[in-house]
Amino acid sequence: MARRTNSVGHRTISALFLSALIFTLSSLTGAQTRPSAATSPRVPAKPKLVVLLVVDQMRGDYVDKFLGQWTGGLKRLVEEGAWFRDAAFPYAATETCVGHATISTGAFPATHGMVANAWWDRKEQKMVTCTADPDPSVKNTGYAGATPKGADTAWRMAVPSFAEELKFQTSGATRIVTFSLKARAAITMAGHKAAAATWFDGGAWVTSSPYGTLPFIEEQAKSHPAKADFGKTWSLSLPESAYWYGEKALGAVPPDGWDLTFPHPLRGKTGVGEPDGAFYEQWASSPYADTALTELAEKAVDVLNLGKAAGTDFLAVSYSSVDYVGHEFGPRSREIQDILVRLDKDLGNLFAHLDEKIGRGNYVVALSADHGVVPIPEDMQKTGADAGVLHLPELQERIEKAVEPFNYAKPAVARISGSDIYFAPGVYDKLQQDHAALQVVLDAALAQPGVAAVYRAEELRDRPATQSPAHRAMAFSYFPGRSGDLFILPKPYWLLDGTPTGKQRSYGTGHGVPYNYDQHVPVLLMGFGIQPGQYFQPITPADIAPTFAALCGITLSSRDGHVLAEALKRPAEAPLTQQARPKSALPSGPNTNP
């Protein structure tokens, strides 16, 4: 395992560099002892604003493929920033909630506990989403008069986010503001509480009670609602010859009301009348949603004066539309190529705005993705490679049939969700003692087309030492109580699909397995304290939060990720500042912890 060996060596170098940094800084401060009212020790300056950008489902190779067509913010990140070309999630559960929580906390799912977008709750005997909060005092609330259902918070996230730690460990003046179309992205990036965590639901911007509601979002929701884009059309933005792939993506399943070919009109299901559910699906699958998120982020900077107050502020945007487009049209589509061209322009505008308001070099940006995506199986099959659809309902039937002769409760399987198999209460405990029955279950699972291996929970607990990358990835994803009893590892290029038997698949492709097409994502850093360049050492997106923490001078509890020291400016180049006495933005309460 070259990856492991490299990263050990690399960590040693990082540790040496950090010791050197600390030594240099202490010599510097030592040379300026006896602080007076006028001069105090020089310490590393802090960024005024930390900006986290996540592009949902952006594969790492999109940067290599399409960089030549970008002129805006994505290009600037590569040219002026640090580009980590071999960044990949090391775990198996490559899903949205998991990836965002990993980026935001610097921990793997085995630590932060967000093991999937949704999992089987053994106590409740039902599926729960990663953000669903059963506390009756919590409620989702809408802007511009919207009345959303549900209650979503970060209560299931077992460690604080970087942003929460930043606010807690500094003067408390940090403002935390996040935006996304998805609750599981906006919430995990923010943490348990925030000035604002805003997402999109049923045509409106919404939040929930632990997060603040801000007047400028209300104003924006009223003056620039999504429905104002009704009637617009998404057309190709480059000359036709610039596109890599054919007009129609093979195996694509576009939203209702759209053809397989450009242009894509935002006119709902029928093409006439008022915005309907199909229109909002089209809008979320179009560049217009990315632009709406960018505008909200720019407004937040202006109205809240982010980056200009006492503390380091935190702004995060998760751009969801690449994910919707990828599920519908696949990674080999003109739609993916075009939406990235448009996102590049949005990000160019956002960075220009930050330069103007906060000043180039005063803020630090990281851009990454929560996971990649597998090619549409029917498209991949054309190459002659072994690719296909791993049909989960069929797998479930097979397992039920296999245990039938062994006198188990019926149904024996409570749920198969992604690669996790959950048995009915008591069944797996019994199977563990009943080797003949367990062997029959494992054999039945292995007989399902597309299954490469099956892991048992006890093989994944406590992060066992192993040389197998897949086994290690499964273990990094395992969180006791939430993860399944058995785990399916599909063969490469086999799509896990839960569509009921006899029904047509309602999407093109997906993600969620420990192969590089799902794990490899971009990691780009730019701005305050960042040494530009291309970096080839293997890293993970869990390294982003520790790197932010190092730049802000705080400590994260988890050590799953590490500081990307190679991309930090050396002590001689790093900005130093006169230390100011921290001004607390919070009223000082009684000291209960003397």
Residues that bind Zn ion (CB under 5 A): 56, 96, 323, 370
Inter-residue contact 151 to 173 (CB < 8 Å): no
* Closer to Zn ion by Cβ: residue 130 or 221: 130
Q: Report the relative pairing of strands 413-417 and 420-423 from DSSP bridges.
A: antiparallel
Shortest Å, Cβ 318 to Zn ion: 8
Closest of 132, 109, 111 to residue 120, by C-alpha: 132
* Closer to Zn ion by Cβ: residue 178 or 220: 178
Shortest Å, Cβ 289 to Zn ion: 14
Shortest Å, Cβ 184 to Zn ion: 8
* Closer to Zn ion by Cβ: residue 56 or 298: 56
| Cα–Cα dist 577/116, whole Å | 43
Inter-residue contact 585 to 170 (CB < 8 Å): no
For Zn ion, the nearest residue by Cβ is 96
Shortest Å, Cβ 254 to Zn ion: 19
Shortest Å, Cβ 323 to Zn ion: 5
DSSP characters for 425-449?
A: TTHHHHHHH-HHHHHHHHHHHHHST
Residue type, 56: D
* Closer to Zn ion by Cβ: residue 370 or 379: 370
Shortest Å, Cβ 522 to Zn ion: 14
Angle, CA 57 vertex, CA 226 and CA 148 arms, to 5°: 35
* Closer to Zn ion by Cβ: residue 56 or 328: 56
Residues in the chain, total: 594
The edge-to-edge listing of strands for the beta sheet with 140-142 is 140-142, 204-208, 196-201, 176-180, 313-319, 49-55, 363-368, 523-527, 82-84, 533-535
Shortest Å, Cβ 119 to Zn ion: 16
Angle, CA 503 vertex, CA 450 and CA 420 arms, to 5°: 40
Shortest Å, Cβ 54 to Zn ion: 8
Buried b (16+ CB within 10 A) or exposed e, 44-75: bbbbbbbbbbbbbbbbbbbbeebbebbebbbb
Q: Report the relative pairing of strands 313-319 and 264-265 from DSSP bridges.
A: unpaired
* Closer to Zn ion by Cβ: residue 56 or 344: 56
Shortest Å, Cβ 460 to Zn ion: 23
Buried b (16+ CB within 10 A) or exposed e, 93-118: bbbbbbbbbbbbbbbbbbbbbbbbbb
* Closer to Zn ion by Cβ: residue 433 or 506: 506
Name beta bridge partners: 88: 520
* Closer to Zn ion by Cβ: residue 184 or 299: 184
* Closer to Zn ion by Cβ: residue 229 or 323: 323
Inter-residue contact 344 to 74 (CB < 8 Å): yes
